Structure 1
Amino acid sequence: MPKTSDPRGREFVHAWLARIRWLMLVPSAVLILTSVATIIWATAKAGKFVTEALRGAADTALLADLLGAIDTYLIATVLLVLGFGLYEVFSSPQTDTTDQSELIRTGVLTKLEIKVANVLVLVLAVRFAQELLTGAPGRELLWTAGSIGIIAVSLVLFIRFASDR
């Protein structure tokens, strides 16, 4: 005769998980605050670009600076998506009535991972364009392109197969 699980033990585990999930407010808040700081940093970079462009400077280094600002905004986007995503999964009011294991089973975390992976592919593309514009030496540019290509292909494959699950 198979053993049945102890309902009191299961209730204890669920109660314990319901309490500690609030710990995820810490990384959520830190990620959101870091995103705000990164947005301010990117805005300063963009402001520098505008100032230089208004002075009449027009060269590839200036365009690389603009791509650097765009790259920084994309990184801020990743941080913001992660911060709000973790909050939504673990700490939002809707999770008060939802079983945590159900959230994980329905693929909420996978959807969050896919969003982040999509933005990271863009970050890599912008980063390579920035390297191309700064005139990196040929061999270094080739290694950078290969590295970025491998990572981007891995992320695209992850996105493709994770969305099939």
Structure 2
Amino acid sequence: MDEPGEYVFYATAFDGVLLELDDSIVIDSWMDQPLRLHESRRITLGRGYRRIRILHYRRSMPGELVLKWVKPSSILEVIPSDRFYFSLGDHFFITGLPDGYTVKIIPLRENMPEKKCVSAMNICVVNAPWREQPLEAYVSIYSEAGRVFARFSEPFTFFGGDEYTLQVI
């Protein structure tokens, strides 16, 4: 979300729709029904990424679902496709590292443990289950001897399936 404030989400569909936003169900209409506009309650959101999960079924014929919103000081509109980012799995990859280098990932989110991986064949594979994504975190890289190789002062935003390549200049 680029703009903090109150949002209302809408889904237009035949039959069943369930919409979750950051693990909270905001639209729950899981039943056979004619085409209709489903509406969430008003939701106050800060700036940043949100996890959205949509479940939909259509009893007969192909299904179609349109997701809309009303942003702060805006009108009802279809959510533009460039506002979505799809996670492609439960891992992301850091490539270009010498073998034996350790990557430490320190999440910004409270109560989330530090992640660590050691590169092999120039790849470091980091586990990031869907519920942890997007993973916003600080990154430090250590040599095989344990010395700091790189420490980044700005956090990264990781999604499953992404590849981040380290280029040594």
Higher strand content, 1 or 2? 2
Q: What TM-score range do you get, normalising by the shorter chain?
A: under 0.3
Higher helix content, 1 or 2? 1
Using CA pairs under 8 Å that are at least 6 residues apart, name the structure with larger relative contact order, 1 or 2.
1
**TM-score, length of structure 2 as denominator length:** 0.23
